[in-house]
Structure 1
C-alpha cells in the first residue's frame, strides 16, 4: 500500500499519486467509486466489471459446501 497526500484546489480535492502508483500513460479519465470513507479510483476503460470478467474459478470451487 502506498500513502500519499490529498489537497484542495479551487474548491475540489485532488490526490497526488506517487510514481509507483501512477496510472498507465495515456489514461485521460478515471471512475471513482465511493464506499463510506473509502475511494477506489480506476481508469474508465478498466472498471470493476472488466476486472471481474478477467478472473474465473475452477469447476470444483466450493464443491464441498
Structure 2
C-alpha cells in the first residue's frame, strides 16, 4: 500500500495519482465512496448513452456472411 498527500485545489481537495497507477487513454473517472473507501474507475458508456449514438449505415450488414453454418446439422 502506498500513501499520497491530499492538497487544496481551489475549493476542492485533490490527490496526485502516481504514474504507475495512471489510467491510460482515459479522460474521465467515476468516483464513488463506499464506507471509508473512495473508488476511482474509468467512466464507461451507459445504456442510456447508447440512444445518443448515430444510426448505423444501411449498408452496414450488406456483405456479412452466415454466422452459423448448417454444415454437420442433421434434419429431424
TM-score band w.r.t. shorter chain: 0.5 to 0.7
* Cα-to-partner distance string for 1:1-57 (whole Å, 9 max, x where unaligned): 332222111111111011111111x311110110122100001028xxxxxxxxxxx
From the CA coordinates, give the structure whose radius of gyration is larger. Answer: 2
What is the aligned length? 45
Alignment of 1:11-50 (within 5 A): 11-24=11-24, 26-45=25-44
Looking at secondary structure, tell me which structure has more helix per residue: 1
Secondary structure at the residue paired with 1:3?
coil
Unaligned segments of structure 2, at least 5 residues? 46-76
Q: Give the structure-1-normalised TM-score.
A: 0.57
Unaligned runs of 5+ in 1: 47-65
TM-score normalised to structure 2 length: 0.50
The runs of 4+ residues in structure 1 deviating greater than 2 Å are none
